[in-house]
Amino acid sequence: MRSLVIFFFVFGALSCVNSQEVLARRGEAKVDTLSIVSGYLQKLQRLAEMRDSANSVISYPAPNAYYYQILSAPTLYSSPLHQMMSNTDSTYTDRQLQTLYYINRMLARLYAGNPELVQQTEENVKNQGHFRDDINEKINVKDKLSEKVSEAMLPATLDEDIQVVTRRPNFWKFNGNTSLQFSQSHFSSNWHKGGEDNFTGNLYLTVNANYNNQRKVVLDNRLEVQVGAQTAPSDSKRSFRPTVNKLRITSNLGYKAYKTLYYSCQVIMETQILPNYYVNTDNLQSKIFSPMDLSVGPGMKYNFQWGKKKRFTGELNVAPLAYHLKYVDRVELATIHGIDAGKHAKHTFGPTATLNTNYKICDQISWASRLLWQSNYHYTKIDWYNEINFSVTKLVNAKLILNPIIDDSAPRFRNDKGQYIMFNENLSIGLQYSF
């Protein structure tokens, strides 16, 4: 390159000298030394510019990593497929996002127009490389930040002393529901099948207080109150007679043995609230704590949940040997309830089993059931209480109660075998509130 520049430099100088000599010989123009020097300097400047341009380094634009997908071998990438399936548009303000959009669009056209050119996938490209071994080495950090800030002092933000209070979590859960049900019957004076007008009102209350420490110990407590009365036109002594009349307290202490199986100790106390008299007399038939049934027994409890949405739940408690107490506060009522004359209580032992289930048939219909079986090898008591709730709204519901009972503990039941099978059915509508 330098020899070429020197050649043009000499050639230009000789051309200027030769042209002046020719003009001088012919006498056509006078020799102007200033113009010769000026022309010479102009050509010399041009040659210098050519030299500088020849020696300058050619600059190329920096490589753009966004174009590697279209500059490399045709490959099936996931980004163009996601862009086509999501119907993404090109309204991006970021230039890099616009670049990626148009690259994915070009690749999508390639996949649709010339799929035979695509010979590999994105996974094949990723599997061809590997990490360097020196990068996988574990970095050992010797400096500990905690040591560097150990002497730092935080400014106080409160003037008063800060007191840290540690509170244990509340393992108790309380819930329940109450309902007030009504029913009414009317018969005309010439009704050929008989019957009398009556109005019935029933109050139901259930309160649960359950303890679970999320480890081993659970304690379930339930209070059930059922009180109801109906008008009694045929009773000359009183205007109302009780229909449902029950107070029951159930307490079950459990210690986890395996998953949902517990060692348990269950206590059941049951009595009635309102006094009950024989029709048209003042002779008392039963009252609160006359009688009262108490059952205490150790055993095993099993909790279960069935169905995909766990709509059917329940618990089964079995006590092979339980203590049973039947008590009357009024001694004159002893023989009526199977207790020896002149005594207030009767003590027996025997097995006890309870089965409590709850089946949520749908959002509006639920079925709660309680089956109690007690025996002392001389008598048997089976109490199967079924309550079907039809929720019209959150506050209005209808209730169907089916309650068969088998009890041959009293002598009057054992003498007449048909008397120890009892059944109660009640259908009513009213108000309900859960808390």
**85/181 same-domain check:** no
**278/358 same-domain check:** yes
How much is the average pLDDT of 306-334? 92
State pTM to two decimals: 0.60
Q: Is the peptide bond before 291 cis (omega within 30 degrees of 0)?
A: yes
Cβ proximity of 200 and 171 under 8 Å: no
Confidence of residue 136 (pLDDT cuts 50, 70, 90): low
In this prediction, residue 198 carries a pLDDT of 81
Of 284 and 9, which is predicted with more confidence? 284
Confidence of residue 328 (pLDDT cuts 50, 70, 90): very high
- The percentage of residues in the chain with a pLDDT greater than 90, rounded to a whole number, is 37
**33/115 same-domain check:** no
Confidence of residue 123 (pLDDT cuts 50, 70, 90): confident
Residue 351 reports pLDDT greater than 70: yes
The answer to whether position 156 is within a domain reads no
pLDDT in tens, 197-236: 788 899 999 999 999 988 899 999 999 999 999 898 888 8
In this prediction, residue 12 carries a pLDDT of 52
The answer to whether position 278 is within a domain reads yes
The answer to whether position 161 is within a domain reads no
**179/70 same-domain check:** no
- Which residues, including other chains, have CB under 8 Å from residue 125's CB and lie 6 or more apart? 75
Residue 258 reports pLDDT greater than 50: yes
Confidence of residue 26 (pLDDT cuts 50, 70, 90): very low
- Nearest residue to 324 via CA among 391, 251, 247, 269: 269
Residue 48 reports pLDDT greater than 50: yes
CA distance 234 to 183: 18
In this prediction, residue 14 carries a pLDDT of 46
Confidence of residue 24 (pLDDT cuts 50, 70, 90): very low
The answer to whether position 164 is within a domain reads no
The answer to whether position 139 is within a domain reads no
CA distance 409 to 325: 12
The answer to whether position 150 is within a domain reads no
User: Which run of H or of E encompasses 433?
Assistant: strand 421-434
Range of the domain at 33: 2-55
Of 132 and 73, which is predicted with more confidence? 73
**219/242 same-domain check:** yes
**311/393 same-domain check:** yes
Residue 19 reports pLDDT greater than 50: no
Of 86 and 74, which is predicted with more confidence? 74
**41/185 same-domain check:** no
Per the document, the length of the chain is: 435
Amino acid at 362: C
**92/21 same-domain check:** no
**185/308 same-domain check:** yes
Count other C-beta atoms under 10 Å from residue 254's C-beta: 22
Q: Can you read off the two tokens belonging to residue 278?
A: 């024989």
Residue 154 reports pLDDT greater than 70: no
pLDDT in tens, 318-327: 999 999 999 9
**51/192 same-domain check:** no
CA distance 413 to 403: 18
Residue 7 reports pLDDT greater than 80: no
Range ranked top by mean pLDDT from 77-81, 153-157, 159-163: 77-81
The answer to whether position 8 is within a domain reads yes
In this prediction, residue 97 carries a pLDDT of 81
Average pLDDT, the chain: 81
Cβ proximity of 380 and 371 under 8 Å: no
In this prediction, residue 29 carries a pLDDT of 43
Confidence of residue 304 (pLDDT cuts 50, 70, 90): very high
Residue 62 reports pLDDT greater than 60: no
In this prediction, residue 203 carries a pLDDT of 94
Number of domains present in the structure of the chain: 3
Confidence of residue 98 (pLDDT cuts 50, 70, 90): confident
Confidence of residue 23 (pLDDT cuts 50, 70, 90): very low
Count Cβ neighbours within 10 Å for each residue of 278-306 and write b for 16 or more, e otherwise.
Answer: eeeeeeeebbeebbbbbbbbebebbbeee
Of 356 and 91, which is predicted with more confidence? 356
Helix axes 33-55 and 2-26, enclosed angle (nearest 10)? 160
How much is the average pLDDT of 256-266? 94
CATH number at residue 366: 2.40.230
Of 167-176, 178-187, 413-422, the one with minimum mean pLDDT is 413-422
The answer to whether position 166 is within a domain reads no
**291/361 same-domain check:** yes
**306/415 same-domain check:** yes
